[in-house]
Amino acid sequence: MRQTERTAIVLRYANYRDNDRMLTLFSPTQGRIEALSRGCRKPRSPILNASEMFALGDFELYQKGAHLTIVSANLIETFYPLRQDFDRLAVGTYLLGVTEGFIQPGSPAQELFMLLLHTLSRLTFTDQPWRPLVAGFLLHLSDCEGFRPRLKHCVHCGKPLTETESTWFDHQEGGLVCRDCHLQSHTPVSAAQAHWMRSMLSAGSAAWVDTPDCTAPFSLLRKYVESRLDRPVRAADMLPEV
């Protein structure tokens, strides 16, 4: 029996018994953590707000065998304004769902953790359009998780690709395809979209600001990232129409 303290964000919860919840936490040092938040649904529970989705805090955990129970929580951020805009709430829920699909228990994921918090902050506290924001998140997530798309050469013949030519994207091979190698099943990519993806990966999140929706290939990156998961992201059905 021991107690530990973890900084984490609540990705999901499931109500349990009359007043409890099972929380799925994302810790940058421990990856996915499943913990019982006992009594949190009581009106005056000190851990009520920290047992909601999106809650970021320092959680004190009590471990007995393989089971973890939340003893206390120091709440850092709730991202509460998301709850006042249904579309952005749906997008935020999707971000949590995609993240949960990649993290593993006991596996550190500092870079992905910071990427998620950075994206949620922009989604919550700025009026930036959500499609390029989420497209940037998905692109950087692919880099964090080791399947960064290949964007400078055709993934079939190896031909260098210029900044001005239109290309296609092969989701299975994970990269751009030239005019000579593309198939009908590949996704068309404009020169502007290819340039945006290259810039995003080289310049980082600063390139997300003021990106037109048409330049950020949200649908392409969503399909690419979700194809790497072993199960569908349930929150995807909630996304606003694109």
- pLDDT of 175 reads 97
Structure confidence by residue, pLDDT tens digits, 79-97: 999 999 999 999 999 999 9
Structure confidence by residue, pLDDT tens digits, 98-147: 999 999 999 999 999 999 999 999 999 999 999 999 999 999 999 999 99
Domain ranges of the chain: 2-79, 81-236
Give the model's confidence band at 203: pLDDT under 50 very low, under 70 low, under 90 confident, else very high: confident
Considering the domain 2-79 in this protein, what is its CATH number? 2.40.50.140
Cα–Cα distance for residue pair 242/167, rounded to 1 Å: 22
- pLDDT of 212 reads 63
- pLDDT of 17 reads 86
Q: For domain 81-236, which CATH number applies: 3.30.70.270, 3.90.1010.10, 1.20.1530.20, 1.20.1440.120?
A: 1.20.1440.120
Structure confidence by residue, pLDDT tens digits, 48-67: 999 999 999 999 999 888 88
- pLDDT of 209 reads 55
